[in-house]
Structures are given as C-alpha cells and as structure tokens.
Structure 1
C-alpha cells in the first residue's frame, strides 16, 4: 500500500467518523471508498480522490506533500470561513447583480448579448463566476478587517 493511501486512512480515522459515515459525508459509495483504501488510491479515479481529499479539508497537492514527509503550512494568513450570515449576504448581493444584468434593466451586455440572450451554459458560468468572486471578496475582507485576537 502506498504512503498516500495510508495517510488518507489515518486522516479519515482522525475525523472521528467510520469509513461508511465518511463515505456518505463526501457523497461516495462506501464500497468505492473501501476499495480505494484496500487497493490503494493509485487505482482510484481522480474524481474520487478529489472528493475524499475535499472531505478531509485538504487538496491533492497537500496529500502529495504529506506523502513526501512535508508538513502542511496552515498559516494564520489563511482565509477565514464564511458563516451563514455571510452566505445569506452573498446570495442577496448575487441576486442584485443578476437583476442588474438582465435585459429589462439593460445595465450590461456581453459581446452584443444581454444576460437573457445568453445560452444556459454561459449564463450558469457567469453566475458561478460572480458568486465565487463575491465569496473571495467576503473572505478577504473578513481577513483584513477582523482583529487578530478574534480570529480562530
């Protein structure tokens, strides 16, 4: 068994969940997770490895660093997480932006098209991009304006 698989097993154990509960948490069939951990993640699909890593709060790059014996640098400069109030504020602001981009208001056009004239895929990508930008801006502002003594 390779080092990465051993690390995943250890990290899953540290969550306090059994493997079946962890598999449910990351929306992965239990048999798939069990197979990954028994046969090694070298045989697993990349998507499944990413799901497991995400569920553990690490990236695949972090997993490689741990496998190579490196320490993860969880600095105090890491961006703070968003709470439910922040999420609500983001959704309100996102809706305002979407309303401002609609054809009836005419605030913006993209390559000669309004938001209403775009195909569904382009519209979804634009909205996802706006939402991600709002999330990042909120996290950056929380980091910048939260005094160190109140940071977790």
Structure 2
C-alpha cells in the first residue's frame, strides 16, 4: 500500500469513526462521566458460556478508534515521526501532539517534562550555545538547566 492509499485509509477510517459506520467496539471510557468502564459479563458465542464478575478492560481500550489507528501506524513506521508525517500527511507538531494525547490517555504523561522544540535545542548545541550534557539534562527534566 502506497502513501496515498494509507492516507485515504486514515481519513476513511476517521469518517467511519465519526459516522458510526463500523462494527461496535468495546469502549473503555464512559461517554457520560468520563470514568473507566468495568466489564460485568463475558460471553462465548460459540458454546454460549457466560462468565459474570467485574473485569478490567486493558489500558488500550481507553484510546479512541482514531488513537488506536494512529498507534498502529506509528508501530508500522517503527516510531519514525518523519515517516508518520509522510504517510499521514500531517506535520511534525501534529504527530507529536497526537503522541502526547495518547500518552495522557494511557496515563504515561505526568506533565513534569517541559514542552520543548527539539530542533531549537539541537540548533543551540550546533551553534555552541548549549552543551550536550546541559541539553540532555534539560530534555530529561533533571535539575540544572531550567530554561533554554
């Protein structure tokens, strides 16, 4: 599948998500209050067995269909933001924002790391305005470099 086909698939998938034209998928978050759903019954359609109780959904069930698709494409592109930009036809900041959004949905974003323009940091290293150690400290949130 070429890049154009993938982009078409991405937007077609987005339209299906918003139009409700797809199979019903388990959602992990209550649309009314935003709390996490708990599954109370599992059922086998082949043998008609049922299991009742309280079951937690996996953390990925908290992602929207669009976010799940983005994660799938991210893995397909082996984490390359540049390849994601090309394949989905979106900008670097958009890719980065989607990653942050997904991290937050999975509880991986603690907000302690600063929002940084990495290109700016690299340019300052190249210009001799910043040492590599200082940049690493800043980017990882270690004490030392408060502002770049």
TM-score by length of 1: 0.28
Query: Which is helix-richer, 1 or 2?
Result: 1
More strand by share: 2
TM normalised by structure 2 equals 0.28
Q: For CA contacts below 8 A with separation 6 or more, give which structure has more relative contact order.
A: 1
